[in-house]
Structure 1
Amino acid sequence: MSELRRHWTPTAVLFLVLALAGLAGTWTFNALAIVQMRDFLGDLVSSGPAVSSITVDLLVVAVAGSVFIIVEARRIGMRFAWIYVVLSGLTAFAFTFPLFLAMRQRHLTARIHSADPA
């Protein structure tokens, strides 16, 4: 098995698929907001209590997830984890968090294989 494919476990692939779905889904609506010249931030907080609730919900999850990314990456020795947090501001946390989880899974799998002499 090639070195590159060996670390792509089914879990890592699932997280990567979720990351791509998050990127496609969020950027479809971001592009619509840009084309329609919408006030993106204004729409988030002024389109009713349900939208505001979802906004706060996702914002808290994104902050907690960002802390997890930094702490977990340090714990397991992944470098440059801060890039996922920065990238989430440019793309979407729905993309960067599952992408981090996929890369984390690959990192853990690589560590297991490097410790295994077989």
Structure 2
Amino acid sequence: MTPNPQAPSTVQPWLAWLYLALAVAGGVLPWLANLDYMRQYGSAFDIRLFVQLANANPAAQSLSRDLLVGASAITVWMVIESRRLAMRHLWLVLLSSITIAFAFAAPFFLFLRERRLAELARSGGHQP
């Protein structure tokens, strides 16, 4: 028997909650650093200085470039996957990626995806 790539995998309710917990951590931890940045460099968020500091040395450049490429690839997948599953609220995920943190948006998307897969499983497993 060959697996049906359109059929949702076995639903694991705990996985959605794990993704939500990671989303919370992904929202809080970067913003704690952002608040420290604003305290250290001025209360206004200077994006030019932020990017300059994010590229201040090879280690920072490595992390910045790693995030840029990885986040870009995952964002493309999130758009395609949300359309495939007819998910709602993608705009909220994409907006949170630039206003909160990608570390929030990616696990938040996975939380919403798990909930959608569970919804599809309950309705007979038919995906759009």
Fold shared per TM-score above 0.5 = yes
Greater Cα offset, 30-39 or 9-18: 30-39
Q: CA deviation at 1:41?
A: 1.3
- Structure 2 residue corresponding to 1:83, chosen from 69, 76, 92: 92
1:25 aligns to 2:34 (yes or no): no
Residue 63 of structure 2 is matched in structure 1 by: 54
1:36 aligns to 2:36 (yes or no): no
Q: Structure 1 CA distance, aligned partners of 2:121 and 2:77?
A: 22
Q: Structure 1 CA distance, aligned partners of 2:105 and 2:85?
A: 18
The residue matched to 1:115 in structure 2 has which SS?
coil
Residue 99 of structure 1 is matched in structure 2 by: 108
Q: Structure 2 CA distance, aligned partners of 1:30 and 1:9?
A: 32
The residue matched to 1:77 in structure 2 has which SS?
coil
- Name the structure where helix makes up a greater proportion of residues: 1
Residue 78 of structure 2 is matched in structure 1 by: 69
Residue 45 of structure 2 is matched in structure 1 by: none
Aligned 8 A contact 1:21 1:95 in 2: yes
Q: CA deviation at 1:8?
A: 8.1
Q: Structure 1 CA distance, aligned partners of 2:123 and 2:95?
A: 30
Q: Structure 2 CA distance, aligned partners of 1:37 and 1:8?
A: 44
Residue 3 of structure 1 is matched in structure 2 by: none
Q: Which runs of 4+ in 1 moved over 4 A?
A: none
Q: CA deviation at 1:109?
A: 0.2
Q: Structure 1 CA distance, aligned partners of 2:53 and 2:76?
A: 27
Q: CA deviation at 1:82?
A: 3.1
Q: CA deviation at 1:87?
A: 1.6
Residue deviations 1:71-105, cap 9 Å, x none? 00000111231331222110100001000000100
Query: How many residues are matched?
Result: 109
- Given the two structures, how large is their TM-score scaled by the length of structure 1? 0.85
Aligned 8 A contact 1:8 1:106 in 2: no
